[in-house]
Amino acid sequence: MKDNVVAITGASKGIGAELARQLAACGAKLVLAARNAAELEAVADQCRESGATVVTVRADVAVEHDCQAIVAGAVLAFGRLDALVNNAGATMWALFEEIEDVSVLERIMRVNYMGAVYCTRHALPYLRDSRGRIVGISSLAGRTGVPTRTGYAASKHAMTGFFDSLRIELADSGVSVTMIYPGFVATGIRENATGPDGKPIMVSPVQEGEVMKVEDCARRIVRAMERREREVVMTARGKMGLWLKLIAPGLVDRIARRAIERGR
């Protein structure tokens, strides 16, 4: 990834921030985007300490104009774009029937799905020129249903369908499409998940100490980008679940329910 121009959405924390730090260490040139300008600049400074050239763009991917600005920032600063990482996301933790305002689900869909669509739309002409990379950071919830996360799972399923279809369309273009399916990752940001009242739950429902470390997750993503892998299912449980879903879908439902109840 040395000297590649990489745009990362949702780069102010969690997977996006750690991915930025690791790509900076690889010598990539970075365009980092997020809504929180102060947190974004803090990550950018860490990347600059590794010797990386970094541009930041304050952006909400639910707004198409902001997505256009991310791409414009890359082209203005570096003259090209080699990789787009669609990482920005919003999540939830509530039973569907307890949700007080379903506009919460609309917001999640706009961020997770339409945000990726908007960014990809504006980046694609430049990625064609560079024969570059598109990366979608999804979730195991993008491959199977998960209780308490109906809107989140729906948005990630939509993301999967979009990028799997786009991969076929781009087969002769030289542009690769890599989908990433992490399980629970210790990002420390689940307290921002939306609860049934539409407000952040403020307490992580996941046992952060017993799930994948964010450093390990980001390291696997960098390797997948370098190899232009088609998709990465990060956990053994996730890989097993995809096979089991073909022959014992009810068992997969029970596994998903147990994982949510245990928070790992």
Question: In this structure, what is the dihedral angle of CA atoms 69, 134, 142, 185, given to the nearest 10 degrees?
Answer: -80
Is the domain defined by 5-235 classed in CATH 3.40.50.1980?
Answer: no
> What percent of the chain shows pLDDT beyond 70?
89
Strand order in the sheet with 54-58: 54-58, 29-34, 5-9, 83-86, 133-137, 176-181, 231-233
Return the higher-pLDDT residue of 168 and 260: 168
Indicate which residue of 113, 118, 126, 152 is catalytic: 152
Please answer whether residues 31 and 73 qualify as being in contact, where contact means their C-beta atoms are separated by less than 8 angstroms.
yes
**168-193 tens-digit pLDDT:** 999 999 999 999 999 877 665 555 67
* Number of Cα atoms under 13 Å in the Cβ half of residue 58: 7
Q: Is the pLDDT of residue 260 over 90?
A: no
pLDDT (tens digit per residue) in 33-92: 999 999 999 999 999 999 999 999 999 999 999 999 999 999 999 999 999 999 999 988
Q: 56: which strand partners?
A: 32
From CA 8, how far away is CA 70, in angstroms rounded? 9
Q: Report how far residue 43's alpha carbon sits from residue 145's, in angstroms, rounded to the nearest whole number.
A: 33
Q: Which two tokens stand for residue 58?
A: 């304050």
> Cα separation of 10 and 114, whole Å?
14
b/e per residue 3-29 (b: at least 16 CB within 10 A): ebbbbbbbbbbbbbbbbbbbbbebebb
**3-class DSSP state for residue 58?**
strand
pTM of the model: 0.88
Segment holding 167, helix H or strand E:
helix 150-169
In this predicted structure, what is the pLDDT of residue 220? 96
Cα torsion for 68, 72, 73, 77, to the nearest 10°?
170
Let me know if 152 is a catalytic residue: yes
pLDDT band at 263 (very low <50, low <70, confident <90, very high): low
Decide which of 228 and 200 is more confident: 228
Q: Where are the domains of the chain?
A: 5-235
Cα separation, 71 vs 158, whole angstroms? 23
